[in-house]
Structure 1
Amino acid sequence: MKVLINSMMTIVLVMLGWISINSVYAADTNEAKNKPNILFVAFDDLRPLIGAYGEAEPKTPNIDAFAHDAVRFDRAYVNYPLCNPSRAAMLTGIRFDNNHDNFKDNKHPKLIVKQTTWPRILKDNGYWTATRGKLYHGNVPSSEKHTWHVAGEFWPKSRFKDGGPEIQQRIVDIGGREDQIKDYLKKGSGPGALMYASVDGPDDLLNDGKVAKDVVDMIKHRRDKSKPFMIAAGFSRPHMPWVAPKRYFDMYPADAGKIADFPEGAKQQFDAQTYKSKTRNGLWNEGVDDETAQKLIRGYMASTSFADAQMGKIINALKEEGLYEDTIIIVWGDHGYHLTDHGLWRKNTPFNISLRSPLLIKAPGIKPGDVVEQVVQNIDLYPTIMELTGISAPESIVYHGNSLVPLLADSSSSWTNLVHTSSAKGSYGVVTDKYRFTVYADGRKALYNLETDPHEWNNLAQDKAYQPLIKDFEIKMQSVVWNSAK
């Protein structure tokens, strides 16, 4: 309504001759020109256990260097640890639970239309917008095509996804679950394949290399330089299958890769039915032996290093164009990942390691190198981007999250440390600065003290001393809004 009133007042003033239409256009253009550029980098399945977050083994020199110029959020979470709902929530600001009661409605195009996305708001406010790679869950949905000046592809139009004859004939080392390797070799793609493949070829033989090349071209040549830009680069790695050029595997010794620790008896008590799915076979570590598991982790790290290098090319392009210092840069992962933690490989579980994701933000005027320990979430990004750019979203926009700008300015700012979460098979819960609480669909409860039990092996849900806390969490869960702009 506010925007409509302002527009009507402007029209009246032009009609009365008090201002000219050219002056209105010039004012709008100048205001847009003064907006900061934005680079949004999304990684698929990148858990925050990398160099920038204190883990020594993964080699991510570009993310690590960027962290020195940015604010690092150590306790960033997603509301649902799966690509589709996590990305839809990030783009719309709405908390999604993957529609457990109606699975036909959990497709990405149906989620993304729940509310106008923040890229669309930026375009409406004078930004030149472009995307390439995985920002949405797949290609840009038809409802979002108008959001972008360049609505680039997720994958080239081919049935092969980092597979097929051209790539397979260059594989120099391959391993993992035999059934899934066979499927990858047969189909030329395998998005859920627990396998690795070292490929003797250049970076742009694979899709993430092509994404980086296209984004660099956008920054240097294709963008409308009369407007501020918002460019989104989405990297598929380290999503499985872990296919990467050989040079990134060579960054790691043959014995690299640490299998997660577990207490005595954990294998025998493994909850196979809760975590079994069409890709998980219900076995501890999906049935792969420890030697193979270690090689798979090495493949994950090689894929992470490959994706990190592609981000580095984009950052270098900004620096070469003199744009780096004044560009807002957001580096985000769409959820966490197990990598043998609790005998699991993937995501979409209620565990802390699945829900937690990397998040780094650099913005002009923000103190670099700061670390935020507060609990934040993917739905906080929408209001943050609006505040950083000085744009007022339409009054119809509803935020399920909160702007992170106060924490960017002062990491010790007062904050509500609570995130509502959901995951596969209808589990719901909360994460706070100290606890992770979950109620499964069958009524079972789990409560973990993340300070004293960060790996979540000691379930406190049956301890009488914690019943008041559990009751408080359950009350908070009753009032939360999912899947709707309310």
Structure 2
Amino acid sequence: MKKIYFLALISILTLSACKTEKKAASKSTKPNVLFIAVDDLNTWISPIDNFSNVKTPNFDRLAKMGVTFTNAHVQAPLCGPSRASIMTGLRPSTTGIYGMTPDNKIRRPENPATKDITFLPEYFEQNGYHTMGIGKLFHIHAPDSIFNESGGRVKGFGPYPKERIVWDGFGTSKSKENKGKYGRTSTDWGAFPENDTLMPDHKSVNWVAERLHRDYDKPFFMGLGFLRVHVPLYVPQKWFDLYPLEDIQTPPYKSDDLNDIPQIGLHINDLPMMPSTEWAKESGEWKKIVQAYLACISYVDYELGRVLDALESSKHADNTVIVLWSDHGYRLGEKGTFAKHALWETATKAPLLFAGPNLPKGKKIDAPVEMLSIYPTLLELSGLSANNTNEGKSLVNMMESDQITEDTYAITTFGMNNHAVKINNYRYIRYEDGTEEFYDHTADPNEWNNEAKNPKYATQIEKMKGLLPKTNVIWDEKSSYTFQPYFVEHKARVNGEEKKPVEVIGADR
């Protein structure tokens, strides 16, 4: 009998030792990374603005799992250059990638800033990670062979009905004066298709969920790029049903808001292919557009929930870092239109959330930060050495510390020498011709009053002017934005080129 007890004791001690070794091994194992991009998502989600009582329980769920940055800003208010900045870790003003660039042309010998760059997923692969990706991660999907496993991306932003539901995609650009100067957009809204399984994002989540339940002999980096809430604002009817029209709020709008904007700012905001706020008011479509955008947010929230469910039921639940971000904000009537394409707050601010081992849970940080920080932050959270080419700063210390952060700032660039700086409660915009805008968000959260000439703010303006990028290279030859006449002329002028048609790169507008 004593021998049996002795053997039982040995077995218990052995099992205990094995568990201890397993825990120790788990602690020494580098975490996995789940990298989630949501296209065109502004800050209306419930963990940040909770606009019009938006229903996003899974964004709330992710926020409770980690840290939400309520004041994060993109480095360009346009998909292509914003994503290129995140993936290279460099500012648009450093690379000259101010517009749309083919994924395979971001890194090329002719561009000294990017010719030897290591993209974010590559850095993880070079440090022992198995890399995977599906959907829209770079502008289209990703450069060739960037992932060990690629699920690719469904072309376009469908599914599409046989005929547009509301908007023709051209707007006032059908007039003779504007013919050929503006592209046709995917902007439209309505209930389509019949069910979620017909959405490309649903299929992407299926792909991710299946891989989250696999075993790996090394840590993994998994990228998931949602297509919604990018236009057309089509999702099944059940998502529209969450938002009765009579309960919809519309964003703040002032018809004479642009009267104090410099001429160059008006040129950049010249977007007749997009619905104007005045048209939306007169036609009765404004609430319907907002309803469609909210419906798309709730649909993405549902798909996010499926991802979180898959992760939580997998073996990787306790050892995975999650980052969720969007490539820019989106205006739903603010400043006269429905678009991104601007250096104002509603176009540059976007969600940024982190969760993972050892990070605080349910924490919110209101200090301004940059999406440029995603690259170095993920490296530090994964225990990898810093990439010295990164121009962003890691946010790990800010997330882990209770210290109040002072004087953090964010810079957004839209074309060579057009920049916005966000610091504390102020926004400063300086255009290539030296004209300026300045807003005090404490007194003017909607940026209706340009205070650039107000002597009260002279000291603050000079301080923010000193944060502008010192390097401002000309446009990269392969980067362009052909759907807005200012940028066609701007590139031709600053690069010393003739005004000529430029190759259209993946219509994202």
| Alignment TM class, shorter chain as reference | 0.7 to 0.9
The structural deviation recorded for 1:60 is 1.2
Corresponding position of 2:433: 442
Corresponding position of 1:150: 149
The structural deviation recorded for 1:427 is 2.1
CA pair 425-204 structure 1, distance change in 2 beyond 3 A = farther
Verify: 1:479 aligned to 2:479, yes or no: no
Q: How many residues align?
A: 431
The structural deviation recorded for 1:45 is 0.5
Corresponding position of 1:242: 233
Verify: 1:73 aligned to 2:69, yes or no: yes
Corresponding position of 1:58: 54
Assess if the C-alpha contact under 8 Å between 1:78 and 1:421 holds in 2. Answer: yes
Q: Distance in 1 between matches of 2:167 and 2:337?
A: 14
CA pair 459-336 structure 1, distance change in 2 beyond 3 A = same
The structural deviation recorded for 1:425 is 7.8
Verify: 1:125 aligned to 2:120, yes or no: no
Verify: 1:402 aligned to 2:398, yes or no: no
Secondary structure at the counterpart of residue 197 of structure 1: strand
Task: Write the deviation string for residues 182-222 of structure 1: whole angstroms up to 9, x where unpaired.
Answer: x9xxxxxx99332112124221212111111111112124x
Assess if the C-alpha contact under 8 Å between 1:176 and 1:296 holds in 2. Answer: no
Which residue among 199, 222, 228 is the counterpart of 2:219? Answer: 228
Unaligned 5+ residue runs, structure 1? 1-29, 184-189
CA pair 240-400 structure 1, distance change in 2 beyond 3 A = same
Verify: 1:375 aligned to 2:377, yes or no: no
Q: AA paired with 1:150?
A: E
Instruction: Could you list the structure 1 runs, at least 4 aligned residues long, displaced by more than 6 angstroms after superposition.
Output: 30-33, 102-105, 267-271, 481-484
Q: Distance in 2 between matches of 1:413 and 1:109?
A: 41
Q: Distance in 1 between matches of 2:28 and 2:400?
A: 24
Verify: 1:344 aligned to 2:327, yes or no: no
CA pair 414-161 structure 1, distance change in 2 beyond 3 A = closer
Task: Write the deviation string for residues 327-349 of structure 1: whole angstroms up to 9, x where unpaired.
Answer: 11111111111100121211120
The structural deviation recorded for 1:465 is 2.6
Q: Distance in 1 between matches of 2:131 and 2:282?
A: 46
The structural deviation recorded for 1:272 is 5.3
The structural deviation recorded for 1:312 is 1.0
Task: Write the deviation string for residues 433-454 of structure 1: whole angstroms up to 9, x where unpaired.
Answer: 1211111233321000122211
Task: Write the deviation string for residues 362-389 of structure 1: whole angstroms up to 9, x where unpaired.
Answer: 0201110011122110111111111111
Corresponding position of 2:505: none
The structural deviation recorded for 1:38 is 1.1
The structural deviation recorded for 1:136 is 0.7
Q: Distance in 2 between matches of 1:480 and 1:432?
A: 20
Q: Distance in 2 between matches of 1:239 and 1:94?
A: 24
The structural deviation recorded for 1:105 is 8.5
Q: Distance in 1 between matches of 2:282 and 2:323?
A: 38
Q: AA paired with 2:37?
A: A
Task: Write the deviation string for residues 64-96 of structure 1: whole angstroms up to 9, x where unpaired.
Answer: 111111101111111111111111111111011
Assess if the C-alpha contact under 8 Å between 1:280 and 1:286 holds in 2. Answer: no
Corresponding position of 2:306: 313
CA pair 66-411 structure 1, distance change in 2 beyond 3 A = same
Verify: 1:175 aligned to 2:174, yes or no: no
Verify: 1:134 aligned to 2:128, yes or no: no
* TM-align CA RMSD: 3.1
Task: Write the deviation string for residues 119-148 of structure 1: whole angstroms up to 9, x where unpaired.
Answer: 111111221111001111002223xx1x31
Corresponding position of 1:18: none
Verify: 1:93 aligned to 2:95, yes or no: no
Q: Distance in 2 between matches of 1:276 and 1:425?
A: 18
* Identical columns (%): 27
The structural deviation recorded for 1:112 is 4.9
Q: AA paired with 1:72?
A: T
Secondary structure at the counterpart of residue 294 of structure 1: helix
Corresponding position of 2:269: 275
Secondary structure at the counterpart of residue 245 of structure 2: coil
TM-score, normalisation: structure 1: 0.80
Q: Distance in 2 between matches of 1:482 and 1:179?
A: 33
Q: Distance in 2 between matches of 1:251 and 1:237?
A: 17
Corresponding position of 1:330: 323
Corresponding position of 2:244: 253
Q: Distance in 1 between matches of 2:474 and 2:304?
A: 32
Assess if the C-alpha contact under 8 Å between 1:139 and 1:153 holds in 2. Answer: yes
Q: Distance in 1 between matches of 2:211 and 2:162?
A: 30
Assess if the C-alpha contact under 8 Å between 1:127 and 1:227 holds in 2. Answer: yes
CA pair 255-447 structure 1, distance change in 2 beyond 3 A = same
Corresponding position of 1:7: none
Corresponding position of 2:196: 203
CA pair 426-240 structure 1, distance change in 2 beyond 3 A = farther
Assess if the C-alpha contact under 8 Å between 2:93 and 2:416 holds in 1. Answer: no
CA pair 238-431 structure 1, distance change in 2 beyond 3 A = same
Unaligned 5+ residue runs, structure 2? 1-24, 109-113, 175-182, 476-509
Q: AA paired with 1:276?
A: D
Assess if the C-alpha contact under 8 Å between 1:338 and 1:345 holds in 2. Answer: yes
Q: Distance in 1 between matches of 2:368 and 2:303?
A: 29
The structural deviation recorded for 1:471 is 2.6
Assess if the C-alpha contact under 8 Å between 1:85 and 1:98 holds in 2. Answer: no
Higher deviation after alignment, 319-328 or 208-217: 319-328
CA pair 448-319 structure 1, distance change in 2 beyond 3 A = same
The structural deviation recorded for 1:257 is 3.1
Task: Write the deviation string for residues 305-357 of structure 1: whole angstroms up to 9, x where unpaired.
Answer: 11111111111011111432321111111111110012121112010111111
The structural deviation recorded for 1:360 is 0.7
The structural deviation recorded for 1:149 is 1.2
Q: Distance in 2 between matches of 1:33 and 1:198?
A: 49
Verify: 1:111 aligned to 2:111, yes or no: no
Assess if the C-alpha contact under 8 Å between 1:95 and 1:481 holds in 2. Answer: no
The structural deviation recorded for 1:474 is 2.5
TM-score, normalisation: structure 2: 0.77
CA pair 36-43 structure 1, distance change in 2 beyond 3 A = same
The structural deviation recorded for 1:57 is 2.0
Q: Distance in 2 between matches of 1:152 and 1:306?
A: 21
CA pair 420-134 structure 1, distance change in 2 beyond 3 A = same
